[in-house]
């Protein structure tokens, strides 16, 4: 089997790294309440998949140790600036969520925001998340997900997906993320669905999935 590419390079990745903080502005404000609620309880070693340019660093409590796994190296400088600004100790890797470069059962929490839509292999990402979490550790997520099957919005998401994926850096707006998390093997999943105004990228899902203790 060919090895999964762990680095996103080329002009598109460079442009996306530049554009992400600009595109994200309003949407970030709308999902902020869920980030504040869920991220404030993080402790110890936290691994974030796809941290991008560091949008979440402002919400992380002081004292955590962050391991970031971000395949787009053009995002790294901005992320490191944010880490310095908010006093977060970070160890940053160019890599992918399907192949995490850390030992089994070595982190207290895994964080993901607006990433599960664009990972290449969602099941492998969740399996890796479980592998690296310590017993009793938690997976904390704030994501946009596919609308209810059979709804008009889901039809729109299904139709627009091929183009959306190209312009949105691999984003699939129609993924059944909750179903995948529930099937992945966590001991308990607590999640709530919410909507924010805007086309295609809705509904959202925020919650915590616990590894058996």
The only residue of 46, 57, 71, 143 in contact with ligand SAM, by rule CB under 6 A: 71
Interface with ligand SAM, residue 209, by CB under 6 A:
no
Distances (CA, A) of 14 to 72, 76, 167, 184: 8, 11, 13, 33
Binding-residue pattern over the window 100 to 139 for ligand SAM, x denoting contact by CB under 6 A: -------------xxx--xxx-------------------
Closest distance between ligand SAM and the C-beta of residue 141, in Å?
10
DSSP letter string, 102-114? S-TT-EEEEEEES
Stretch that binds ligand SAM, among 47-55, 82-90, 154-162, 181-189 (CB under 6 A): 47-55
The only residue of 42, 46, 51, 207 in contact with ligand SAM, by rule CB under 6 A: 51
Distances (CA, A) of 19 to 52, 53, 59, 88: 11, 10, 21, 23
Closest distance between ligand SAM and the C-beta of residue 213, in Å?
27
Q: Which residue has the tokens 């991220």?
A: 39
- Classify the C-alpha dihedral 174-179-183-189 as positive or negative: positive
Stretch that binds ligand SAM, among 36-44, 66-74, 86-94, 156-164 (CB under 6 A): 66-74
Interface with ligand SAM, residue 24, by CB under 6 A:
yes
Q: Which residues contact ligand SAM by CB under 6 A?
A: 8, 24, 49-52, 55-56, 69-72, 75, 96-98, 113-115, 118-120, 170
């Amino acid at each position: 089997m060919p090895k999964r590419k762990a680095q996103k390079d080329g002009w598109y990745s460079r442009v996306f790294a530049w554009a992400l903080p600009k595109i994200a502005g309003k949407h970030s404000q709308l999902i902020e309440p869920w980030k504040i609620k869920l991220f404030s309880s993080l402790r110890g070693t936290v691994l974030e998949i796809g941290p991008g340019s560091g949008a979440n660093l402002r919400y992380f409590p002081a004292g955590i140790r962050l391991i970031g796994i971000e395949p787009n190296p053009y995002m790294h400088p901005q992320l490191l600036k944010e880490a310095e600004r908010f006093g977060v100790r970070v160890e940053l890797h160019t890599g992918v969520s399907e192949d995490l470069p850390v030992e089994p059962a070595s982190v207290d929490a895994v964080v993901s925001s607006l990433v599960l839509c664009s990972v290449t292999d969602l099941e492998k990402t969740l399996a890796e998340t479980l592998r690296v979490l310590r017993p009793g550790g938690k997976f904390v997520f704030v994501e946009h997900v596919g609308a209810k099957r059979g709804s008009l919005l889901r039809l729109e998401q299904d139709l627009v997906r091929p183009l959306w994926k190209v312009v949105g850096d691999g984003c699939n707006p129609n993924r059944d993320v909750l179903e995948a998390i529930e099937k992945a093997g966590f001991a308990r999943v607590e999640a709530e669905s919410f909507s924010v105004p805007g086309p295609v990228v809705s509904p959202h899902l925020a919650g915590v999935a616990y590894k058996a203790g």
